[in-house]
Amino acid sequence: MRHYRVFVTGKPGIFDPAGKAAEDALVKLGYTGVSGLRIGKLIDLECADGVGLSEVQEMCERFLANPVIEGFTVSEVGLGAGADLVAEAGATAGAGLVAEADLATEAGSTAEAGRSDEAGAQ
């Protein structure tokens, strides 16, 4: 079995009402240093060994993400014990294949960095 992780996020410039509501709530709770909060989706897929990154990317383009308003990253993860390994290049709709770190930067996402920090603290 192969395990893929997909992060779906709104494209830059697309209004994110859920993100705006969460940002406003955090400010009201006293977290005044928060801005640009965006909410996305995390999708984990367990696939047969023959299912490759390009097929998962196609699933995202056709169904899991709306390519008009959302971008996505796909990575193969594994090694057990919670360790992630990017086995193949990440992908975003309409952008071709680029490095995983570049995708997180393009999407304005720090989810991966935050998750890595949390893992190191445990």
Delimit the domains of the chain by residue range: 2-121
d(CA 8, CA 18): 14
What the block records as the tokens of 59 is 């699933």
The superfamily in CATH containing domain 2-121 is Phosphoribosylformylglycinamidine synthase subunit PurS (3.30.1280.10)
Position 85 scores a pLDDT of 41
How many angstroms separate the CA atoms of 45 and 29, rounded? 35
Sites in the chain below the pLDDT cut of 50: 79-122
Which tokens go with 81?
């014990």
Question: What was the pLDDT predicted at 13?
Answer: 93
Residue 51 near residue 72, CB atoms below 8 Å: no
At residue 7, the pLDDT reads 96
pLDDT number for residue 78: 77
Nearest to 2 by CA among 57, 59, 45, 61: 45
- Classify residue 94 as left (phi > 0), alpha (psi -120 to 50) or beta: left
Q: What is the pLDDT of residue 65?
A: 96
